[in-house]
Each structure stands twice: as C-alpha cells, then as structure tokens.
Amino acid sequence: MTLALVLAAAGLFAGALLPRLIARIPDRPQVTVPATEPAPAETVAPELIEGGHPPTPVPYRELAAAPRLAAWLAVATAAVWGLLTIARDGAANAPEDLPAYLAVGLIGVALAYVDLRTQLLPDWLTLTAFGAAGAWLTVAAALTGDWSAYGRAWAAAAACLAFYLLLALLRPADLGLGDVKLSASLGLLLGWVGWPAVASGVFLAFVAGGLIGIALLAAGRAGRRTSLPFGPPMLLGALAALLLA
C-alpha cells in the first residue's frame, strides 16, 4: 500500500505533464467534405457524431490547452498508477514488470482524453505505448527468467490484434485502426498475466462500452446511431481485468 501511495503521488506529477506530450502530437490533415455531401449532423456533444463520421480534426495544441486539463490528467494518472500498483502487488514477476504497466497507464490516460475529444487514437501515442510495453516486458523477462510469460504476452498481443482487426473490418463505424493498435499493447500486458486476464479484458471492454453508451443515451448526450470512442472502454476493461486477476 505504501508503494501504491508513493506511485500515486508520482502519478500526479507525471499526469500534469501530459498536456505537453499531447501538444507535441503531429496534427492530422484536415478532412475536406465535398460540397455535394451534407456535413454530418452533430449530437449534443460535438465530439460524438451521428453516422460514424469523425469530427473535423482539432489541433493537438488546442486540445492540450483546455482549461484545467493538467489537473484532470494528473488526478486520473494518480488513480491509474495507484490501482495498477495494487493490481501487481504480490503478483508473479512483480515488481520487475511494474514499469511496463505504469508506462502504458500514463500514455493510456492521454489516449483516453484524445479519443474522447476527437474519436481518434494517434499512432504517435499507440505505437509509443506498444514500444514501451514490449521493451519493459523484455527487461522483466530477463530479470525474472519467466520467458513463458513473455512468449504468452506476445501471443496474446497477436491474438488481440487479429480479433480487433476483424471487428474493425466488419464494423468500421464502431472500431478504428487506432483501437486495433491499442489492443496490441493491452494484449501484451494482459497476456503477461495470463490468458484468463486477456479474455476478461476484452469482455470487460465491451461491458464498459455498453454501460457508457447506455449512460450517454439516458442523459441525452448520444443517440442510437451515435459513434462512440472505444479507446476508453478498452483501457477501463484492461484495468479492471488486472485488478480482478
């Protein structure tokens, strides 16, 4: 518990720096809508667009300049780091593997914010999370000698990547390639724990997505055809699976 409190305090500092990271993300090209096509109608929340069309790209510097953003991301990171530390406390291969979870947890907070605002998960963050997870788990495997868990982690990453890619091809309005790339990082971390954690993480992601959709529908913030970002539910599902493992 002491370590969880220490890392939660460190998470406050790390999370407060996330707006600087977000501001450095390369901006996406502007999407030009032909004059013959009507612009997609917006729901109450401007980020949630009917028909599965993403909103007009917003410069990342503008996203990073949102009022009190540093404070919100600091609190979110502190909570995530504290929960991840509790989840890995006393687990096999801990604490050697903890940096991998903390790195993805930090980047995951930034990804959740960006996805909620833009319905896009930038490669600049998803690939960084994947690289950090892979690198730290390689170090953890070398320190602990548990290469079976390491191999299982990569197998789980490949399985999650294939599963979400299939879903993205079948339902492109509901899942994007950013979600597919994020699934590889989450698959690595969950696979390092075990296959039950992988199955739980995927299942709980859809549970979280459904609950969020129901809540937004009840609050009048979304309609039946509203396309909702799936990155935050994926991250929440993975965190819940780790806590339950």
Angle value at C-alpha 158, between 153 and 162, nearest 5 degrees: 145
User: In the structure encoding, which two tokens stand for residue 226, read together?
Assistant: 């509203």
Task: Write down the pTM of the prediction.
Answer: 0.86
Choice between 35 and 180, residue whose per-residue pLDDT is larger = 180
pLDDT band, residue 49 (cuts 50/70/90): very low
Q: What is the reported pLDDT for 223? A: 66
112-138 pLDDT, tens digit per residue, is 999 999 999 999 999 999 999 999 999
pLDDT at residue 29 is higher than 80: no
Average pLDDT score, the chain: 87
Q: Report whether pLDDT(47) > 50.
A: no
Q: Please indicate whether residue 223 or residue 173 has the higher confidence score (pLDDT).
A: 173
- Say what the pLDDT of residue 32 is: 54
Of 147 and 172, the one with more pLDDT: 147
In sign, the C-alpha dihedral spanning 33, 173, 106, 139 is negative
Is the pLDDT higher at 212 or at 52?
Answer: 212
pLDDT tens sequence across 169-192: 998 888 899 999 999 999 999 999
Question: What's the pLDDT at 1?
Answer: 76
- Residue 7 to residues 83, 99, 100, 200, Cα–Cα distance (Å): 10, 11, 14, 25
For residues 118 and 47, the answer to whether their CB atoms sit within 8 Å is yes
Q: Which of 195, 3, 188 is nearest to 95 (CA)?
A: 3
Q: Is cis: bond before 55, omega within 30 of 0?
A: no
Give the C-alpha separation, 30 to 187, whole Å: 32
